[in-house]
Amino acid sequence: MSDALVLEGLEKGYNHGRPSQVQVLRGASLSVAAGEVVALVAPSGAGKSTLLHIAGLLDTPDAGQVMLGGRAMTGLGDRAMTEARRGEVGFIYQFHHLLPEFTALENVVIPQLANGVDKAAAEARAMSLLDRVGVAGRAQHRPAAMSGGEQQRVAFCRALANEPRLLLADEPTGNLDPGTSDQVFGALMELVRATGMGALIATHNMELAARMDRVVRLEAGRVV
Ligand SMILES: Nc1ncnc2c1ncn2[C@@H]1O[C@H](COP(=O)(O)OP(=O)(O)OP(=O)(O)O)[C@@H](O)[C@H]1O
């Protein structure tokens, strides 16, 4: 089976509008197998968000290659990139970014409608996902009426709604208290394991990192 994600020799710098360039990635390479959950650990400012954005086709590298599900993404046009991102990748951020005016159920349904799934099937899948992470009872609630942990569980369901081959997460439990973080992380791991997708999960929390299959570090612009 092909790897869920391969990053090869990524280079990325920002010039901050000045001649002096900040070089963030310096030949970063990494692969995540299908079904593998990899922890990405990095000091603040090391470039983990930059790496995740490039892996998820939200940004482009200055040099290097991104492959999703065995397919090279570098050089694809905007439209093909958008389609690949929508179909192949699920994102989870530190803050849930749910749509505040929609219910939990709608937040998980909407990305599926955008991907061409019909409404009844999308609702059934959304309910099943919400049920698996223990928030089916909150399906008709808007985000503001849910706890932080519940909101983040809904965000997990939204990320997995289109059955992506790759999950990318940036501090997915970073804004929760330690007890809630632990529980919510457990729910995420169960979902990921049940789907068999590859996952790259950035965290500062070494206890959570130790629960994943492999830990990699981002240091001086490379993955070690
Ligand atoms: N759009 C941008 N324009 C200019 N500089 C940027 C941009 N994005 C990131 N940087 C710089 O690149 C470096 C790495 O940023 P990045 O957000 O990838 O780090 P990070 O490891 O995710 O940090 P944190 O853990 O604090 O979120 C920082 O020095 C940051 O200032």
Tens of pLDDT, residue by residue over 100-113, are: 999 999 999 999 99
Record: fold of 36-60+83-223: Rossmann fold (3.40.50)
> Which residue's CA lies nearest to atom 2 of ligand 1?
14
Q: Please tell me whether residue 205 adopts helix, strand or coil conformation.
A: coil
16 lines ligand 1 (CB under 6 A): yes
Tens of pLDDT, residue by residue over 127-166, are: 999 999 899 999 999 999 999 999 999 999 999 999 999 9
Ligand 1 atom index nearest CA of 16: 4
ipTM of the complex as predicted: 0.94
Is there a contact between 219 and 42 (Cβ–Cβ < 8 Å)?
Answer: yes
How far does residue 126's CA lie from ligand 1's centre (Å)? 33
How far does residue 111's CA lie from ligand 1's centre (Å)? 28
H-helix segments, the chain: 48-55, 78-88, 104-114, 119-132, 148-160, 178-195, 206-209
43 lines ligand 1 (CB under 6 A): no
